[in-house]
Copies of this chain bind each other. A is one copy, B any other.
Amino acid sequence: MARTSGSTASETGPKVAQAALRLFAQYGYAAVSMRQIAQDVGVQAGALYNYVPDKQTLLFGLLRDHMTDLLAARKLCIQSDDPGQALLTFVTFHIDFHLARPEAVFLSYMELRNLTAENFAVIEGLRKSYERELEAIIAAGCDQGYFDVRDAKIAAFAVIGMLKELQTWYRAEGRLDAKEIHALYWEMIAKMVGMARSA
């Protein structure tokens, strides 16, 4: 047997990425075999290599695309000169973007160590450039007297940590919807950075 009826690269290609994303997120990169991915796609393992040079590059592609999407979406946010507004925008954007793609987010946190050194450096660079935006907002808010934190870098880490943890407990069918989560987190974060009651 050979080419299967109805098969086109434009359909199989995305299926490969989706299956890999799903399986890597669920079981971990090292625990998922190319044959499992192939089965999920509905194809033999050999066929995957029409779409991906190797397993490592498959993982890297998923992480890089996720980070690229994140930064691209972030650029579309309306940026504000007011630090309070800028922080609110960042937090709201972060929550929406991340809650919408839990698997990619999970993968990006969990599988960094399975990247080669070179690939890791690329992803890490993208991640840092995102997190530095938050740090810059907090630092600016301090300089301008809107916020009150002793260490902007640590405060940024704290906010990132809070938001990361959100990923671990949020369920779409859960007690809180996105709107309530926005409100709760914004309340906590605004207090934490000592935001003056204006904005």
A residues engaging B (CB < 8 A)? 26-31, 110, 113-114, 149-151, 154-155, 157-158, 160-166, 169, 176, 181, 184-185, 187-189, 191-192, 194
Contacts and interface: CB of A to CB of B under 8 A. Distances in A.
Contacts of A191: 191-192, 194
Contact of A164 (B113, B150, B161, B188): B161
Contacts of A161: 161-166
Contact of A114 (B28, B154, B166, B184): B28
18 contacts: A26-B113, A28-B113, A28-B114, A30-B30, A110-B110, A150-B184, A151-B184, A157-B165, A157-B166, A158-B162, A161-B162, A161-B166, A162-B162, A162-B165, A164-B165, A188-B192, A191-B194, A192-B192
Copies of this chain present in the complex amount to 2
Contact of A158 (B110, B157, B188): B188
Contacts of A169: 157
A30 B24 CA distance: 12
A114 B163 contact: no
